[in-house]
Structure 1
Amino acid sequence: MVEYLSVSHLTKYLKLKFDRDPYLERVYLTGQVSNFRKRPSHQYFSLKDDKAVIQATMWAGVYKQLGFELEEGMKINAVGRVQLYEPSGSYSIVIEKAEPDGIGALAIKFEQLKKTLADEGLFKPEFKQVLPRFTKKIGVITSPSGAVIQDIITTVSRRFPGVEIVLYPTKVQGDGAAEEVATNIQRANQREDLDVLIVGRGGGSIEDLWAFNEERVVRAIFESRIPIISSVGHETDTTLADFVADRRAATPTAAAELATPVTKADLLGYLNQQETRAFQAMTNRLKYLRGQVEKISQSVLFRQPERLYDGYVQKLDRLTHQLQVRMREVYGQQKQASLLLDQRLQGIQLERRLEGLIEKVGQQQRLLKSNMANIYDNKVAKADKLMEALTMLDTSRIVARGYALVEKEGRVADSVTVIEENDRLTVRMRDGHLQVEVNHVQKDENI
């Protein structure tokens, strides 16, 4: 009888074969990247050639260590192990190391970073700073033991003695070099007396020059307030620092010449030329002014200066006459208005009207006094009535006439209904009070 295997048993068996096969533990594979879409962590894609395709997996840690970005269609050489995934029965290669096929990883990284920074605009000409015409102090970021600093010192001393050079000793190759270059650029920018910065080193391989291709160095150069001249490698070498710097020099000597655009002799010649031009310009100006003075001294106005103010005197006379005429007109108008007001006041008979008003005020005062007296009398009579009513309600007066008041618990008892047998009562009389105890309560039937 035939025994059938389950699918899971078969795939488990195949997985054991894959895992134990020594030829599949480390596979060297070349192929073209396909179906690649960058993910936040692990990368899943395919490797293919003209006749076959295999699924590929690259864990996040491996991808970060690549040194270049995977791209669709890129041909790579990969090292990894082949595994079988049981749930789907599919196999794939788990890549542990990879590099571009036919071109170095650094060259790929260089081109990819160059494109990214160019898209951001870091290499645009409008961001380049103009180098100063006259420099007093130059900062140099390079190795203190290399030939770069010696070439710069020699060239600057020859071209423009007196210019001060400030060296920032910097590691320019190997681990930590990029960090030192970027840090020293930032340190130099904290000073206020540097006119220009030279960043450079001698020639070498792409690995030797790689510190000047690091993104942090490129951004430090772009953000520098001080203009920067890049002199990295030989004339044929190109780094990203060269693209972002304000100027690029092929050699350290050329960088020093750019930092001191004129020699001392050129400057002295320029100053002599400017002195000659200034003297000639002043001579021409004095000659022109002397001619103007002579022309003015020969003019009619200079010989007869009173002509300058003849017109103003005539204008003053005319304005004075107009002012006098206007004042007479205004005075006449105001006088006429005053006469009209005086006539109107005389027609109103103010004295008679005033007497009438005084008489009316007197009548109102008398009426007011009469009304106030009536109101006062009424109020006094009303107060007397209220006083009499209060007097009638005075209990002391009632007791004085021979009556007595009965109190229970400090309150007047005005009815037998509020009194019960054995209650203790107080009886207040004209000359004292009694404490009594009730033996019997009798209410009148006819009340």
Structure 2
Amino acid sequence: MDNEYLTVTALTQYLKKKFDFDPFLGKIYLTGEISNYRYRGNSHQYFSIKDDNAKISAVMFKSAFAKVKFQPEEGMKVLVTGRISLYERSGSYQIYVNHMEPDGVGQLYQAYEQLKNKLSKEGLFNAPKKSLPKYPKRIAVVTSPSGAVIRDIITTTRRRYPIAQIVLYPAVVQGQEAADSIAAQIKQVNADGNFDTLIIGRGGGSIEDLWPFNEEIVARTIYDSEIPIISSVGHETDTTIADLVADVRAATPTAAAELAVPVLTEEINKINNFYARIINAFNNKLVIKQQRLNKLKQSYIFKQPERLYEAYLQQVDNLSNNLLNFMKDKINHNSKILTDYSYRLKINSPLQTVKDYEKKVDNNFNNTVRAMKNILSDKSNAMQKTVSSLEHLSPLKTMSRGYAYVTSENNQKVIKKVSEVHKDDEIKFNFIDGSAYAKVKSVHQKENNYNVRRN
């Protein structure tokens, strides 16, 4: 009974084979709106295709998506080609897209408009344009070496301005490799340097033929160029991204050469005309200056130059006299001031004042000496009186009359009372001319007028 039940894997594999071997599902042409789209850089793209009533999951692998010329957007109506199959892990069917283009608008035109809007927002079209040099010496041309473009540019340049040098940088201008080739050659021209102008271009063609000049890499390389670029791509009615980014756009290669160089004969004629105008202007200027010189020669300044100084000489004499009188007055005034100050100084001479102060100093000195002597005498007499009083009170004078004082032998303390002495104590008798030592044999103390003996 269990053999009648299928596993989910077996059923899914069976359904997948049904999808894969169905001839009607091997190549499907489908139209609808893009839904749930989120761009994944350098990876596979996952989204949905839907209409008003249904939706199908879609997968576009990286290799197929790289061939898409426009950028898919959410809600964009597209035409897709692919196959229908079943994704076993989720059990859902989906379309594997291998080609996609906008519905109702050509794929290349859609890509053109998207890149144009992108670069416009970044400011590549509105950036300040570099000016073309009026008299270029070397012109680089990036184009096909076998096309009519280089021949037209060379022919026109040689006819108009043969002294300019044309250097061809051959590039592929059509096909898958064209954009990289054009960008590489533009970079090479800038790296080589020493070029005044750069022309890029090719002949007319369909939008597919001109598409390399609509690639982003070419547009950004033109924008980064240090050399001013003239773009000459297609015919006048065809406008490429390169035309919009370039510094100058030319309708044809011949027009590009005409913009790049002037007409040598016209420039020579201009130089001759300028030369003639300069000569005429110089001659006219010379005539005017000569007339002015002749007029000046007739002036008294050159015929009688001494008249120029007559007024100045008289003015110098007047100023000299005024200066002399001023100096005399100044000297007389200062002389009077000096005399006045000399008289006042003589009257108020400090010599007598100095002499008076010298006398005062001498008197003060003598008075000070006398006062010091008197003070010294008084102090000497007072000291003698004090010494005499001290002699009367001196114990030495008392001892000279036969008195002595006793001290303890142990601590040299003066013994004033008999109570301070004990039997067998060693005592010292201090006389005026020396001392004597003794040992106490017995002590007698007075008490209430009676003698008490202490053994």
Question: What are the within-5 Å matches in structure 2 for residues 232-271 of structure 1?
Answer: 232-261=233-262, 263-271=263-271
1:132 partnered with 2:133? yes
Structure 2 residue matching 1:56: 3-state secondary structure: strand
What's the CA shift for 1:310?
Answer: 5.9
1:101, distance to aligned residue in structure 2 (A): 2.8
Q: Which residue of 2 aligns with 1:52?
A: 54
Q: Structure 1 residues 326 and 217, CA, compared in 2 at 3 Å: closer, same or farther?
A: farther
Q: CA 1:296–1:214 in structure 2 vs 1: closer, same or farther (change >3 Å)?
A: same
String of CA shifts for 1:52-85, please: whole Å, max 9, x gaps: 2223344455434423210123221223344556
Q: 2:49 touches 2:56 (CA, 8 Å); kept in 1?
A: yes
Identity %: 45
Using the alignment, how far apart are the partners of 1:275 and 1:347 within structure 2? Answer: 101
Please report how far the alpha carbon of residue 247 of structure 1 lies from its aligned counterpart in structure 2 after TM superposition. Answer: 1.5
Q: Which residue of 1 aligns with 2:217?
A: 216
Q: Shift of residue 97 of structure 1?
A: 3.0
Residue 238 of structure 2 aligns to a residue in which SS? coil
Alignment of 1:34-113 (within 5 A): 34-40=35-41, 41-83=43-85, 91-113=93-115
Indicate yes or no: 2:24 matched with 1:13: no
- 1:163 counterpart letter in structure 2: A
Structure 2 counterpart of 1:274, one-letter code: F
Is this contact kept in 1: 2:15–2:86, CA < 8 A?
A: no
Judging changes above 3 Å, is the alpha-carbon distance between structure 1 residues 299 and 212 closer, same or farther for their aligned structure 2 residues?
Answer: same
- CA–CA distance in 2 between the matches of 1:236 and 1:347? 124
| Partners of 2:333 and 2:57 in 1: CA distance | 111
Structure 1 residue 315 displacement after superposition:
9.8
1:306 alignment partner, one of 309, 313, 316? 309
Secondary structure at 1:127 match in 2: coil
Equivalent position SS for 2:168: strand
Larger radius of gyration between Structure 1 and Structure 2: 2
With the length of structure 2 as denominator, give the TM-score of the two structures: 0.63
**Cα pair 1:221 1:245 within 8 Å, conserved:** yes
2:199–2:232 CA contact under 8 A, matched in 1: yes
- In the alignment, which residue of structure 2 is the partner of 1:27? 28
2:141 touches 2:167 (CA, 8 Å); kept in 1? yes
Once the two structures are overlaid, the 10-residue window that deviates more, 269-278 or 17-26, is 17-26
2:16 touches 2:88 (CA, 8 Å); kept in 1?
no
Counterparts in 2 of 1:161 and 1:63: CA distance versus 1, 3 Å: closer
Alignment correspondent of 2:148: 147
User: Does structure 1 retain, via aligned residues, the 8 Å contact 2:213–2:241?
Assistant: yes
Offset of 1:197 from its aligned partner?
Answer: 1.5
CA contact (8 A) 1:143 1:201 kept: yes
What's the CA shift for 1:163?
Answer: 2.1
Flag structure 1 segments of 5+ consecutive residues without an equivalent. Answer: 357-447
Moved more, 16-25 or 252-261: 16-25
Q: CA deviation at 1:324?
A: 5.0
How far residue 168 of structure 1 moved from its aligned partner, in angstroms, is: 1.7
The answer to which of 316-325 and 87-96 deviates more is: 316-325
Secondary structure of 1:305's aligned partner: helix
1:229 deviation in Å? 1.3
For 1:25 and 1:322, the matched residues in 2 are separated by 131
How far does residue 321 in structure 1 lie from its aligned partner after superposition?
6.5
| Residue type at the aligned position of 2:309 | E
Q: Is the 2:32–2:78 contact (alpha carbons within 8 Å) kept by the matching residues of 1?
A: yes
Report the Cα offset of residue 142 of structure 1.
1.7
Contact 2:47 2:57 in 1 (8 A): yes
Q: State the match for 1:388 in structure 2.
A: none
**Cα distance in 2 between the residues matched to 1:193 and 1:218:** 22
Report the residue type matching 1:47 in the other structure: I
Q: Choose 163-172 or 89-98, whichever is displaced more.
A: 89-98
> CA-atom RMSD, angstroms?
4.3
- The one-letter code of the counterpart of 1:46 is S
Could you give the per-residue CA deviations for residues 186-239 of structure 1, whole angstroms, max 9, x where no partner exists? 222234532211111222333322222222222222222222111222333322
Residue 69 of structure 1 aligns to a residue whose secondary structure is coil
Contact 1:235 1:250 in 2 (8 A): yes
Report the count of equivalent residues.
348
Moved more, 20-29 or 211-220: 20-29
Contact preservation (8 Å) 1:45, 1:56: yes
- Normalising by structure 1, report the TM-score: 0.64
Distance 1:136 1:312 in 2: 69
Distance 1:71 1:154, change over 3 A: same
Structure 1 residues 281, 86: CA separation in 2 closer, same or farther (over 3 Å shift)?
same
The equivalent of 1:425 in structure 2 is: none
CA distance in 2, matches of 1:121, 1:333: 92
- What is the distance in 2 between the residues matched to 1:345 and 1:35? 120
State the alpha-carbon separation in 2 of the partners of residues 292 and 66 from structure 1.
82
Paired with 1:205 and 1:322, the residues of 2 have a C-alpha distance of 107
How far, CA to CA, are the matches of 1:147 and 1:345 in structure 2? Answer: 122
Q: For the residues of structure 1 that align with 2:321 and 2:131, how far apart are their CA atoms?
A: 66
Q: 2: CA distance between counterparts of 1:315 and 1:92?
A: 121
Shift, 1:274, TM fit: 0.6
Structure 1 residues 27, 344: closer, same or farther in 2, change over 3 A? farther
Cα shift at 1:154: 1.4
Who is 1:197 aligned against?
198
Residues 59 and 283 of structure 1: CA distance in aligned 2, closer, same or farther (over 3 Å): same
- Report the Cα distance in structure 2 between the residues aligned to 1:108 and 1:333, rounded to whole angstroms: 112
CA distance in 2, matches of 1:311, 1:32: 110
Write the mapping of 1:357-436 to structure 2, written as runs, cut at 5 A: none
Taking structure 1 as reference, are residues 62 and 169 closer, same or farther at Cα in structure 2, changes over 3 Å only? closer
Q: Secondary structure at the match of 2:308?
A: coil
